[in-house]
Structure 1
Amino acid sequence: MFDLMPFGHNEKSLFDYLDNFERSFFGDAFGGSVSQFRTDIVDKGDKYILQAELPGFAKEDIHIDVDGDYLVIHGEHNAQVEENHHKFVRKERRYGSFSRSFNIANVKADAISASYQNGILELTLPKKEETPPPTRQIDIK
């Protein structure tokens, strides 16, 4: 099915096609892009490993909160106001904020740990131990 997608000459994958579609549809709204950061989640048996691409962020600009059964990752790039007004030939770097939520109903929320290195945020999400539902016998009257 994907080989039927009409890719342009600059689009090398489905992701490029979708990113370009999003930019053309929304234009400069929301700072030029409404896309969220890219995330991989791997099931390691007793835990999940979530890796999120956040290049260019300072660790202090990333906030991770647990809100009920949801993990919320929020970050913000602040625009740097420069004294010198340069005449840019091209400016692609954007500033703004992002927020993304993940359902963690089957995760031990109090045991989540995080690290940030080389633009990759990595969260270790230990799974809750699965307890089988209680069984009981029902007497017939």
Structure 2
Amino acid sequence: MKKLLVILFITVSYFGFSQDSNAFKSIKETSIEATKSNKSILLVFTESAKDYKYIADKLSGLSATFVMHHVDRAENNGLTQEQNMLNQRLVTHYNKTNTYPSVYVLDKHASRTGESLLNLSEAEITKFSESLKAH
């Protein structure tokens, strides 16, 4: 019985930790995914998981043409120091106004197209979503 509990504990611990580390995706991985699926990228900067969920829900209708990449600036986001440094590089490169939450449109090679969403009111999200659907 003890062996069974130890094996169960190790298995649960392994999958619990591996989920956290796999949740992080680099912009390079997102770019590869976008290229393979011939989609553009929505780069989403937030300071909380709640903000990201709200944005992802509102823009879910764009999943046929966009891959979403999340950059979480929250203090306790569960990412490693290296992952947080990679996110900070994305902030420095793309989010020059340091605006949170915000959404930027990138082509499949991770180059900015110039389109962005900085005002996350219901009306602005709808307008942004409709303009992207028209492209």
Greater relative contact order structure (CA < 8 Å, 6+ sep): 2
Q: Which protein is richer in strand relative to its size?
A: 1
Which interval holds the TM-score relative to the shorter structure?
A: under 0.3
Q: Which protein is richer in helix relative to its size?
A: 2
State TM-score, norm by structure 1.
0.25
State TM-score, norm by structure 2.
0.26
- Larger Rg: 1 or 2? 1
